[in-house]
Every structure is written in structure tokens, then in C-alpha cells.
Amino acid sequence: MLETLEKTYRRPNAMNERKRITVSQKRQITIPKKFFQMLGISDEVECFIKNNSLIIKPVHREYSGEFAEEILQDLISQGLSGQELLEKFREINKKVRPAVEALIAEADRAASELIGNGDDQVKDIFSSEE
């Protein structure tokens, strides 16, 4: 059993490896190179707390196609097909991620400007009184 565990731990692509990491005085850590490479981390990670644990996950900036179907439907309805459809889809597809990131940044700014828990602002927006 121990031999099997050791082989699993030493396997190059094993996803159950552990390593103790020192936290600097500035609360910084260094991700081990092996982990960095195994996970394909580029320049950004997502960090959150789950079940009293700090989770660090790579952020992959590739567009995951959330709006691909809608984009294609729109382009097809405009009469595009073949190479023209493909080129226009690629052009629009490149603009989706920056647009989503801009919306998120705008929402973050709005949230940071909330006073209290935001209930008063919500009432102002959705109130039927004029």
C-alpha cells in the first residue's frame, strides 16, 4: 500500500500532491514551480475560501463560449455563412471577454459605493412611487 502511495505521489501529473509553503511577512506565498506548471497557471489565479480552506485556482483567460450560440444565431440570421461567418464570429468572439470584464468591474465599483447593505438604493431603483 505504501509503495502504491509513493508511486502516485511521484507521478508527474498526479493531482493530489501537497507541499508546505512559507507565508512571508507581507502575507505572500510562492507557488511551487511544479504546481504552477501542472496547473497551467499564467498570470492570474482565483482565490477563495471553502470549508475553512484557502483555495487557489488558475484563471484561464480563454473564452469559454458562454455566448457562442447566441452570436452564431445572430450572424446566421444576418445571412452569413461559410468563411464570412467564421471570420465575423471570431471578430465578435474576441470582444466578449473584455466586455464581460468591463461589466464586472462596473458592478464592483457600484458595489463599493453602496451605503450600508444597499437596501435603500434597491428601494430607490425598484420603487413604484415617483
Helix 82-112 and helix 68-77: axis angle, to 10°? 130
- Which triple of cell numbers denotes residue 41? 497557471
Residues near 100 by Cβ (< 8 Å), separated by ≥ 6? Answer: 66
- What confidence score (pLDDT) does residue 126 get? 78
At 2 the pLDDT is 41
How does residue 9 score in pLDDT terms, banded at 50, 70 and 90? very low
Report whether pLDDT(129) > 80. no
Q: Per-residue pLDDT averaged across 80-98, rounded? A: 88
* Closest to 74 measured CA to CA, from 63, 87, 88: 88
pTM for the complete prediction? Answer: 0.39
* Cα 81-84-88 angle, rounded to 5 deg: 105
> Could you read off the pLDDT of 16-48 as tens digits, one per residue?
788 999 999 999 999 999 988 888 888 889 999
